[in-house]
Structure formats: structure tokens, C-alpha cells
Structure 1
Amino acid sequence: MKALRIALIVLRIGLGGLFVYAGIQKFIPKPPRPQTEASVEVPPHVAKIKAYIGGLKQTDYFWPMLGVAEIVGGILLLSQFLALLGAVILVPVTLNIFLFHAFLEPHDTGELIMTALYLLGNLAVIAWYYPRLKPIFLNFKTIY
């Protein structure tokens, strides 16, 4: 049991640090890439990825909002008492990251496995704290 608690702490610190770092990266401007020749054919999956990420950035709100969600969720995962809230906040983020790689980069097995581990790690944190969540979803007395 003690080993599971230590593993959970390591998992929370790892995921929390990863998402804080990823969220901060969303606010750091990247230098523009040099234009390539128009005759170079872009693979179809790369064109879909560029269109997807480009669309998220062009809304002018979603990319920063995603960064804030990652930072807040990561900080909450790093905290002692609010890790469950951080894991719940990050479920849609980790699910979307996994599905992004599953549908747009299915040939990159390493990335797919890594993002599946992020999702499974996040779900493991929620499963550990499930007894705290159970009354929220299964307390029918508050409904009637």
C-alpha cells in the first residue's frame, strides 16, 4: 500500500510538471519558420495536423485557454490536497491529446504509447481518489 502511495505521488509530480511545462510553452512565441518551396509536397497527415493546430491558434482564444487549463491542472496535480481537481480538469486535455495522436499520427507508435500513458496516468489518479468522487455522482438523495 505504501508503494502505491509513493507511485501515485511520483505520477502526480510527473504529470503535473509535464502539464505546467506544456502550458507555459503555449505562451512562448516561436520564431517563424523559413518558407519552403511551393513545389515540396506535404504529406496528407502533416497537412491535417497543420490545419488543426493552425485553426486552434487562429481563434485567438483557444490556444491560450488550453495553456491556462494545462498550467492550472498541472499546479493542482502538484498540490497535496487538490490533485483530484487537477486530474479532473486534465481529463479532456489528455483525452484530446491521445485522440489527436491516434487519428492524426497513428503511424508514430512511440508518441501514441506516450500519450496513452498520459491518459492512463491521469485516469489512475482519478481512480485512486474515486472514493472521494463517488458521493458526488451517486448520491441520489440530493437529486430528489
Structure 2
Amino acid sequence: MALCLLAGVLGGCTNTGDLMNSLNAGAQKYNVGYLKQTIIPGKTTKSQITQMFGAPASEELNSTSTSNESNWTYDKREEGLDKYMKLAHKYVSTETSLKMYDTSAQISKAQGVANDVGSVTGQKTGQSQTQGTVLTIYFVDDVVKYYRVY
């Protein structure tokens, strides 16, 4: 499976970003440009966030707050392709696991090359390339107060 994935990535380097996004559904929530267009502090509600991004990886409630403060955290490493790769490592031989790690490293390199090519050819803007792996959304009374991506 991992080798097929690598072949697909290397065979279509111009669409590597699209491939990675399709394998890691919901990855847009880590894109700062997308978040600026989607989440409006003071207006966007928890139910809207749930509809857009699904359930968070973790949820915390500030029990000392009088205004019902809470935060939700989404972690890219705990979803999509990353989640399944992590799970697969538990059930394969050490040799296969090492091959999967190697394939993953090659995919990361291919993604880096595709990003570099995109930035040189002007196909991507700097804003669309700004991404993180963890999104934390802070709420007051079930409405977004602010969010952070890192």
C-alpha cells in the first residue's frame, strides 16, 4: 500500500498537494488562509465548527470561568492518512514498518518539492502555504473567541 502511494505521488508531482489533501480529509482546517475565511470570532458557533471540521481530538472546559469558556483541539497527526499509518505500524513486521517510514519520508520530500515548484511558478500564494499541525479553537458561551494554529 505504501509503495503504491509513493508511486502515485511521484507519478503526479504537479498534483501532489491535491493528492495529500484527498488522503488527509479535513486538512484545510490547518490552513491559515482557509481559517481566516471560515472562522469569524464572535460569530462562528460550536455547532458550525462541528459541521465543518467534525469532532475535536480533545475538549477542555475552564471550570473557573463564569462565562462558560472552553477550547477544542484538532491534531493533524491524529486523523486522515497519518492516523491510519500509525495504526498500520502496529500490525506489520518491523521490515515492513521501516519501509513505510521510508515511503513516508519520500512523500514528505515530494510534497516539499511540489511546494517549492508551486512557489516558483506562482501557483500558490504565501497565505495558502501557511499551515500547522494543531488547531486550537477557544470558545466563550459556545461562540468562537479566537483560534491558534501551530
User: What range is the shorter-chain TM-score in?
Assistant: 0.3 to 0.5
Structure 1 length as normaliser, TM-score?
0.34
Structure 2 length as normaliser, TM-score?
0.33
Which structure carries more helix by proportion?
1
Greater RCO, 1 or 2 (C-alpha within 8 Å, sep 6+):
2
Which structure carries more strand by proportion?
2
